[in-house]
Structure 1
Amino acid sequence: MNLNFNTSSSVVRLNIGGKKFCTTIDTLTQREPDSMLAAMFSGRHAVHQESDKGYVFVDRDGTYFRHILNWLRDGVVPTLKDSEYSELLREAEYFQLLGLIDGIKASLIKRKEDEEMSTELKRIDIIKCIQSERVRFRGLNLSGLDLSKLDLSFVDFSYACLRNVFFSRANLQCAKFRDVDAEASIFHNATLRECEFTGANLRGALLAGANLQSANLQDACLVDCSFCGADLRSAHLQTADLTNANLEGANLEGANLKGAKLTNANLKGANLQRAYLRHVNLRDTDLEGAKLDGANLLGAIR
């Protein structure tokens, strides 16, 4: 049976190599008006329809046709394996879907760039680099590396991705971590004196026993961090988010916590002598056994 489709809302039943699909004329013609599918269902051509089943048959592999329909519906390129992208690209070229072809190629390029970035440097590469005088790893992706026990003092990691990096016992004195993403990284017993963590994301990081004297952690996300026994004397923690942070036994003598968020923070046994806590909300903070001699608590909520 030959059939002319001339109503944009008409329902179309397709049999693509044995796989059945149901869509509309609008879907097949609007997003890719120059494609073979748009031409088939533009109303200008008679389309052969299976007489007893009501399906238009197209002799192609229907495995990836659902991705083609989804592209035509919402313009989103699916996330697939490289081998699957190759198959989808073949079908897109057959149906002359130029927008989808460009989208697939762009996705493949981005994936390659992401893979190259994720393997930028290994531990041995870091060791070779730090033998130079001025070392910068700004903006690099170093996620998951084991950098424990290395001398990384004065290294600039600003804007880098440092998720799950192992810095345990490393010397990071005066290193720069401005705006890094160091979620869940481990700085256990690391030397972090005078480090800069301004605006850094350290959510869930382990800094127990770390030396953070005079470190700058202003505006940092320190949610769920562990600072147990850490040395934070004279540290700058203004407007840092310490929600649920564990600072039990930490030394915060002379630290500046102006505007810091301490909801549900654990400060049991912490040394807060001469700390700056003006107008800080301590109502939901555990201060059992904490030393507050000489602390500036003017306007603090307790």
Structure 2
Amino acid sequence: MQIMKDHTFSSLIRLNIGGKKFCTTIDTLTRGEPDSMLAAMFRGRLMVSEDPDKGYVFIDRDGKHFRHILNWLRDGVVPTLTDAGYSELMREAEYYQLLGLLEGINSVLNKRKEGNELDAELTRADIIKCIQYKKVKFRGINFSGLDLSKLDLSYVDFSYASLQNVLFSHANLLCAKFRDVDAEGSIFHNATLRECEFTGANLRGASLAGANLQSATLQDACLVDCNFCGANLRSAHLQTADLTNANFEGANLEGANLKGAKLNNANLKGANLQRAYLRRVNLQNAHLEDAKLDGANLLGAIR
């Protein structure tokens, strides 16, 4: 780049980064990372190109992640992104010579590789504020490890969220959506889950003992090693769910649809399976001692 002489800028800077417009200050661009290329540009040491749109400084880079760069320079906080997003941001950080941001991103990626538990994106207090509004959506958010017990979370949409080891005990989750969530190891003791949707969810090792799952949809869900002791699953939809090693002892599955479900080594002792749909289900390795099967559709079932 050419040396820029006797060029001054006002304290307010307008930028055009590959077609995306931003507005910031010289202080933000020069103080956060004083050895970066951005700092050099806006201290007047490097040549910059002017945008044909009067008043803007043009930089020929993709502006997709430039807001993250500005936030880093303002606050020193590494954004939460996917691995692919971090890869894109690192390319921009390398171009602008933002060594501190590169170190921050590498630190986050190393923690992920080491399997350290990710911090939840929201706190319990944040959740309480949000649920005061109707039609709340928390799709794709990380809640791992949060205590959300006893909250009224009815009708909330958690689809695609990370809910590992979340505590939902005694929570009201009526008609909540959990489509394709990762809720491995979560606790739903005595929670109200009537008419909830868990389609495609991962609930491996989750505990739903005493929960009310009447008419809930758990189709195609991974329910391996789940605890449903004493749960109410009346008229629940469990088609093609993986129930390997699941514990349904004393659970109410009256009228439940288990078509195509995997019940290998499942514990159904004392469970109410009256009028349940078990057609062509393999029950050979399931434990059915004292289970009630009156009126159940067992046509073609293997016992």
| TM more than 0.5 | yes
Which of these residues, 109, 118, 130, is aligned with residue 105 of structure 2?
A: 109
**Using the alignment, how far apart are the partners of 2:220 and 2:234 within structure 1?**
18
Counterpart position of 1:178: 179
Question: 1:299, 1:195 → 2: CA distance?
Answer: 30
**Residues 1:262 and 1:119: Cα distance change in structure 2 (over 3 Å):** closer
Q: Distance in 2 between matches of 1:205 and 1:233?
A: 19
Inter-partner Cα distance in structure 1 for 2:103 and 2:260: 43
2:189 counterpart residue number: 188
One-letter identity of the residue aligned with 2:235: S
- In structure 1, C-alpha distance between the alignment counterparts of 2:215 and 2:144, rounded to whole Å: 26
For structure 2, the 5+ residue unaligned runs are 1-93
**Residues 214 and 103 of structure 1: is their aligned pair in 2 closer, same or farther, counting only changes over 3 Å?**
farther
Deviations 1:178-213 (A, max 9, x none): 000000000000000000000000000000000000
Does structure 1 conserve the Cα–Cα contact (< 8 Å) formed by 2:202 and 2:221?
Answer: yes
Q: Distance in 2 between matches of 1:191 and 1:234?
A: 15
* Structure 2 counterpart of 1:289: 290
Task: Give the secondary structure class of the aligned counterpart of 1:109.
Answer: helix
Tell me the distance in 2 between the aligned counterparts of 1:103 and 1:259: 54
User: How far apart, in 2, do the equivalents of 1:107 and 1:293 lie?
Assistant: 64
How far does residue 106 in structure 1 lie from its aligned partner after superposition? 5.8
Q: Which residue of 2 aligns with 1:27?
A: none
Deviations 1:66-122 (Å, cap 9, x if unpaired)? xxxxxxxxxxxxxxxxxxxxxxxxxxxxxxxx9xx999976742655979x734100
- 1:143 aligns with 144
Which digits, 9 at most, give the CA deviation of each residue in 1:199-231, with x for residues without a partner? Answer: 000000000000000000000000000000000
Change (3 A) 1:169 1:297: same
> Aligned pair in 2 of structure 1 residues 131, 229: CA closer, same or farther (>3 Å)?
same
- Tell me the TM-score normalised to structure 1 length: 0.64
SS of match in other structure, 1:118: coil
2:121 is the alignment partner of 1:125: no
d(CA) in 1 for partners of 2:172 and 2:106? 35
TM-score, structure 2 as length reference: 0.63
Counterparts in 2 of 1:268 and 1:108: CA distance versus 1, 3 Å: same
Matches within 5 A, 1:16-95: none
1:127-276 aligned at under 5 Å gives the runs 127-276=128-277
Letter in structure 1 aligned against 2:242: D
Deviations 1:109-136 (A, max 9, x none): 2655979x73410000000000011211
Over aligned residues, Cα RMSD in angstroms? 2.5
For the structure 1 residues 106 and 198, does the alpha-carbon distance in structure 2 shift closer, same or farther, using more than 3 Å as the test? farther
Q: Deviations over 1:154-174 (max 9, x none)?
A: 000000000000000000000
Aligned identity (percent) is 78
CA–CA distance in structure 2, aligned partners of residues 207 and 139 of structure 1 = 22
Cα pair 2:235 2:255 within 8 Å, conserved: yes
- Indicate the SS of the match to 1:124: helix
With over 3 angstroms needed to count, the CA separation of the structure-2 counterparts of 1:240 and 1:102, relative to structure 1, is farther
Could you list the per-position Cα deviations for residues 34-58 of structure 1 after superposition, in whole angstroms to 9, with x for gaps in the alignment? xxxxxxxxxxxxxxxxxxxxxxxxx
Query: Residue 155 of structure 2 aligns to which amino acid in structure 1?
Result: F
User: Which blocks of at least 5 consecutive residues in structure 1 are unaligned?
Assistant: 1-97
Change (3 A) 1:110 1:234: farther
* 2:281 match: 280
Q: Which amino acid aligns with 2:226?
A: C
CA contact (8 A) 2:195 2:216 kept: yes
Where do 4+ consecutive residues of structure 1 move more than 3 Å? 101-108, 110-115
Aligned length: 204
Which amino acid counterpart does residue 272 of structure 1 have in structure 2?
Answer: L
If you compute each CA radius of gyration, which structure gives the higher value, 1 or 2?
Answer: 1
